[in-house]
Amino acid sequence: MLENKIVFILLPAMAGAAAALLGIKIYLRKVAGPSTFMYLLMATMIYALGYAFELNSTSLADMLLWSKIEYLGIAVIPVFWVMIVLKHTGRDQWLNRRNLLILFTIPVITIILHFTDEWHHLVYAAAYINTESAHPMLSFEKGPWYWVHIIFADLMFISASILLIKKMFDTAGVYRYQISIMLVGSFIPWVTMIIYGTGIIPFNYDINPLGFSMGCLIFAWGIFQYRLFDLVPVAYKQVFRSMRDGVLILDLNHNLVDYNPAADFILNHIQTSDLGRPITEVLKEYPDWIKQLVSDDIDQDEYELLINHSSQKFYYNCTISPILDKNQKTAGKILVLNEITQQVEMVEKLRFQATTDNLTCALNRKYFMEQCSLHLANSRKSGQSIALILMDIDDFKAVNDTYGHRAGDIALKKITEVCIKNLRPTDVLGRYGGDEFAVLLPDTTSDIGFQVAERLRKEVAGSPIILEGDIIIVTVSFGVTAAESSSGIDIEQLLKQADDALYQAKNAGRNCVVVS
């Protein structure tokens, strides 16, 4: 009989000692964040050690005293359990003062009623020593408040399990292992509570201290193995939700696993119902981008994405990176959308300033020459001819001297407008000098070049400038040349020929076209 008694006492004593040692180890390891878990360990320790002392007692008064001490832990364990789950599943905001007062109301009442039970018997309707067991043990008839406590505890554990299951479906990768650990840790004490409540354990022996200790052990394993409370998914989730960059997470089958509010805004309102759907369906408005997303090559890469919002253009840099699990195997992809509209606009502005004449918006001379060299090289490869027009405003100095430099500027702009209106998109227009312009015409013979120049000449001459009541007639002289692909001529030679033709046009009386 004595040996059985020692075994009965040792089981809860060992459970309490395990909870105490776990608390000390976590404190010494300075694991971040698990203050609530420390309270849970303390409550479990009080429950288990109190039950061990109850089993070691021989009088009813001592047994009832230790039972009251046990309830200092028993009553609050379900609340601490739910608090841990709420924190781990990203629902810290629920743990405000009002909700905590509500959660602790029944446990506090339970403790008070248990310590005053001999006056009302709401917890134990009757208590006595069971002499039929291997050694004297406390037995009792359950009072009405005892069932309130049991129902409350069951509801707490059921709620915690539901929250964890829901979180597991919303989480991927290593975080699922963490949620699984918590589910197992929550499941064991719930099972022991049910088994104890059915009364199938002989002599009403309480196995709940063992269940709670085992649950705490599993939680502790999660702490040290997966750093359950150190770098918890909750912190990542908060950062994830508050990021200004849009983030999409895909699994290996290119299904949408998660997204943050910024991605929702950027991609025109992704819906919760899109979770689990193929990204090809969710982002069908961006077919070119989808090709990159579903590519088998999941090495980190970057792409530029243009998205229109309310007729306004926004540019985003899309970084695609693989998600690796703990075995360094690919588990999915993460897409980060970083807005670069200002950078793109700034680059375009700088490029415009570096390649464009500030007054006329035609290409400046340097960039015009670069484009001509490229077109000549392409002309040689394609076997096509190419033409060049050089034009010069007639008596431009007289226009400035007579009507002022404002009139000269207007004349330069006018010629640019006429050229843009009458040239093809593939033609290259540049401001060659002060009052000189040049036009490169790809895939054009000298005859066609002459026709284009003549059309420009007539358009300019027929478009007088009206400035402060003055009518200013501006004319332009043109020199045209062309080269076959086999000629091997470079841009400098082509310009020299056009310039010679322009000089002849000036000598011929101006406002005319001469072909070299």
CATH at 188 = 1.20.1070.10
Are 330 and 221 in a shared domain?
Answer: no
Residue 58 has pLDDT above 90, yes or no: no
In-domain check, residue 80: yes
β-strands 386-393, 476-483: how paired?
A: antiparallel
Residue 449: closest CA among 497, 490, 415: 497
Are 224 and 294 in a shared domain?
Answer: no
DSSP string, 159-210: HHHHHHHHHHHT--THHHHHHHHHHHHHHHHHHHHHHHHHT-SGGG---HHH
In-domain check, residue 238: no
Buried b / exposed e across 274-284, counting CB within 10 Å, b at 16+? Answer: bbeebbeebbe
Label residue 195 exposed, middle or buried (CB < 10 Å: 0-12, 13-18, 19+): middle
Residue 438 has pLDDT above 90, yes or no: yes
Are 211 and 337 in a shared domain?
Answer: no
pLDDT for position 300: 47
What pLDDT digit, counting tens, does each position of 135-171 carry?
778 888 889 999 999 899 889 988 888 888 887 777 6
In-domain check, residue 236: no
User: Which of 27-41, 53-67, 244-258, 280-294 has the lowest average pLDDT?
Assistant: 27-41
Token readout for 183 is: 């589910």
Phi, psi of 301 (to 5 degrees): -150, 165
Are 206 and 254 in a shared domain?
Answer: no
What pLDDT digit, counting tens, does each position of 376-385 carry?
888 888 888 8
Range of the domain at 18: 2-231
In-domain check, residue 54: yes
* Share above pLDDT 90 across residues of the chain, in percent, rounded to a whole number: 24
Report how far apart, in Å, the C-alpha atoms of 437 and of each of 60, 172, 315, 361, 414 are.
112, 63, 35, 12, 12
In-domain check, residue 351: no
What pLDDT digit, counting tens, does each position of 303-333 carry?
777 777 767 888 888 888 887 766 677 778 8
Residue 302 has pLDDT above 90, yes or no: no
pLDDT band at 238 (very low <50, low <70, confident <90, very high): low
Are 213 and 261 in a shared domain?
Answer: no
What is the pTM for the complete model shown?
0.48
pLDDT for position 255: 84
- State the CATH number of the domain containing residue 363: 3.30.70.270
Are 306 and 210 in a shared domain?
Answer: no
Residue 361 has pLDDT above 80, yes or no: yes
- Where does a domain end: 293, 318, 345? 345
pLDDT band at 191 (very low <50, low <70, confident <90, very high): confident
Are 432 and 464 in a shared domain?
Answer: yes
Answer with the residue of higher pLDDT: 462 or 133: 462
* Share above pLDDT 70 across residues of the chain, in percent, rounded to a whole number: 88
Contact predicate 391/415, CB 8 Å: yes
Coil, strand, or helix at residue 513? strand
In-domain check, residue 506: yes
**What's the length of the chain?**
516
Average pLDDT over residues 84-97: 78
C-alpha to C-alpha distance for 388 and 495, rounded to whole angstroms: 7
pLDDT for position 173: 55
Are 27 and 77 in a shared domain?
Answer: yes
Token readout for 421 is: 């209106």
- Where does a domain end: 231, 264, 279? 231
Average pLDDT over residues 429-447: 91
Q: What is the total count of domains within the chain?
A: 3
User: Which of 18-32, 306-320, 366-380, 452-466 has the lowest average pLDDT?
Assistant: 18-32
- State the CATH number of the domain containing residue 256: 3.30.450.20
Residue 396 has pLDDT above 50, yes or no: yes
DSSP string, 111-143: HHHHHTHHHH-SSEEEEEEESSSSS-EEEEEE-
- Where does a domain end: 345, 374, 405? 345
What pLDDT digit, counting tens, does each position of 112-143 carry?
999 999 999 999 999 888 877 667 788 888 89
pLDDT for position 231: 47
Instruction: Give Cα 482 distance to the centre of its chain.
Output: 56
Are 55 and 135 in a shared domain?
Answer: yes
Are 336 and 408 in a shared domain?
Answer: no
C-alpha to C-alpha distance for 33 and 364, rounded to whole angstroms: 63
Contact predicate 296/208, CB 8 Å: no
C-alpha to C-alpha distance for 505 and 478, rounded to whole angstroms: 6
Residue 298 has pLDDT above 60, yes or no: no
In-domain check, residue 350: no
Are 499 and 397 in a shared domain?
Answer: yes
What pLDDT digit, counting tens, does each position of 198-220 carry?
777 776 788 888 888 888 888 77
Are 218 and 266 in a shared domain?
Answer: no
Residue 52 has pLDDT above 60, yes or no: yes
In-domain check, residue 168: yes
